[in-house]
Structure 1
Amino acid sequence: MTTGLLHVDGATVHFEQRGDGPLLFISQSGEGDARRTTDLVDALTDDFTVLTYDRRGLSRSVLDDPERPVTMADHADDAHRLLAHVADGPALMLGCSFGAVIGLHLAAHHGEQLDTLIAHEPVAPWLLDSEADAHRRELAELQELFATGGLTAALPAIAASLGIDPANADTEPDLTPQPMDEQRRTNFAHFITTEFTALRADPGCRDHLATTTTRILPAAGRTTPATVFDHQAAHRLGAVLDRPVLTLPGGHNGNTTHPRAWAAQLRTTLHTH
């Protein structure tokens, strides 16, 4: 594994590369940093050079000014600069949840940097037309719940919003533990307080998606309920692009609960395309 630091506008971004083959850039979900999907990366490194990173404000990616708001435009620019730094041609990209929104902005404004983007359940209210404001309010209510009750109150509500049922976890065996340590709690706090605000304020990039040179493949989890926000956003993206939605194993967090099955399907999908 090789690691590096990249100075960008307003932050220093930590990144990691492992494996051999075409460059596959993974932009993580939720509070996830570069090592969030370590089992998935392990299962992909025989076929791809996998690039992961800590989003600005998470773990080892330090903000120059922690009081300055972070926007989706900042995140998309960080991804753009990171690929410009490490890639020697159009990359493959997997974006999960929040990371899928970053991927859509990158494809919309720097489509030449991406060959293919798999966008798994983007948490993008702007994809949902008349329901958009309701989901922006939902994000604000989750932030208020965190402010008054902390992670103990907020995490079950966030899981329910995304269609995740912790009491009925369906996972592959022998996964690397992801304990709720102090660093992860700090990342969750940043995600909820700062990045939820970025999602609420994000105007989106819908008008640019039809003209991007990036092949965008919408994706959703097999067990994600059709009634929840993230599943609806994936299918609305499919409708915008007039493209079928890929079904991946597990639910919203299938990248961590079913990493080997995901790796097998990603390998087939990306080699096919």
Structure 2
Amino acid sequence: MTSEPKSHTLEVPGATLAYDVRESATSTAATLLMIGSPMDASGFASLAGHFQDRTVVTYDPRGIGRSRRTDGGAESTPEQHGDDLHRLITALGGGPVDIFASSGGAVNGLALVARHPEQVRMLVAHEPPAAQVLPDREQALGAVADIRQTYDRDGFGPAMAKFIAISSLRGPIPTDFADLPVPNPAGLGMPTEDDGSRDDVLFRQNLMTCTHYQHDFEALRAAPTRIVVGVGAESEGEMAHRAGVAVAERLGTKPVTFPSHHGGFLGGEFGYKGDPDAFAVTLRQVLEA
């Protein structure tokens, strides 16, 4: 059994990171680090509960949740997140650790392994939105840029409506995405009024840098780390699922299908429920294979 999570902070260049340790006094397995982006540590509460026989660490990426940026920067890059993870693992004893990484966290986990493979025994990268490796790369990158432009011009609600539309679309991104009718934010439960803020952790800090990141597949293929790419059983055809398949292909591997959707490990955190029980079973099988 793990202890109650204990919160800590770590000073890194340009930020103060907050992280939580659920320690198992009896486990001999590698520490399991669960990471997301732009999701913070709270999103892993349900999944962590299924690994009480291991020490589990979660954290808030820079500029998100409890982790404060001190550098005044507007955007966070996968290289920065990867360096933060490198310093966090060092603070935890140096590793090697196992990592379950979701969405933008999977992009950051791959950036970490490309530079510090000795710190990671296994990386399970679940649906990284790696738009650069998609067959419809130009359309995908253009659609993401249009979402960012919508955010800069119109604010959170219209941008989130477009984000939901593109992330849930099944199949190639249309070349005329920017010209298609914009979904009504109110119909999706989003605000319609622009409050004037432009500091959202997704749209301002991480959207462009995450999706446009160029992965170092040569370094990843050469790494001693075992890299497993995960995709959702219910998200086939969606951009992040297709990107996961493409990343696995570039690594010379086959993706592993996990139960549920892009957030399949969620137990209702943020009002978005997956199937965390079944998801945890598959994750354990992958980690112990």
Letter in 2 for 1:131: D
Q: Are 1:25 and 2:30 an aligned pair? A: no
The structure number with the bigger radius of gyration is: 2
RMSD: 2.2
Whether contact under 8 Å (1:162, 1:252) holds in the other structure is no
Match of 1:233 in 2: 243
Letter in 2 for 1:190: V
Counterparts of 2:33 and 2:89 in 1: how far apart (Å)? 8
Letter in 1 for 2:104: F
Choose the corresponding residue for 1:67, options 73, 78, 92: 73
Q: Are 1:211 and 2:222 an aligned pair? A: yes
If the length of structure 2 is used for normalisation, what is the TM-score?
A: 0.79
Deviation at 1:68, TM superposition (A): 5.0
If the length of structure 1 is used for normalisation, what is the TM-score?
A: 0.84
Choose the corresponding residue for 1:263, options 267, 275, 280: 280
Identity fraction in percent? 29
Q: Are 1:155 and 2:160 an aligned pair? A: yes
Q: Are 1:40 and 2:10 an aligned pair? A: no
Choose the corresponding residue for 1:96, options 95, 102, 117: 102
1:16/1:204 Cα in 2 relative to 1: closer, same or farther (>3 Å)?
A: same
Whether contact under 8 Å (1:163, 1:225) holds in the other structure is no
Match of 1:169 in 2: none
Q: Unpaired runs of 5+ in structure 1?
A: 166-179, 181-185
Letter in 2 for 1:231: H
Match of 1:3 in 2: 7
> Which protein has greater RCO, CA pairs closer than 8 Å, 6+ apart?
1
Q: Are 1:53 and 2:70 an aligned pair? A: no
1:71/1:37 Cα in 2 relative to 1: closer, same or farther (>3 Å)?
A: same
Letter in 2 for 1:43: H
Whether contact under 8 Å (1:15, 1:34) holds in the other structure is yes
Choose the corresponding residue for 1:144, options 144, 149, 167: 149
1:144/1:49 Cα in 2 relative to 1: closer, same or farther (>3 Å)?
A: same
Deviation at 1:250, TM superposition (A): 1.0
Deviation at 1:143, TM superposition (A): 1.4
Question: 1 or 2, which has the higher helix percentage?
Answer: 1
Deviation at 1:12, TM superposition (A): 0.7
Report the count of equivalent residues: 249
Q: Unpaired runs of 5+ in structure 2?
A: 171-189, 191-196, 267-273
Counterparts of 1:111 and 1:134 in 2: how far apart (Å)? 32
Tell me which moved more, 142-151 or 59-68: 142-151
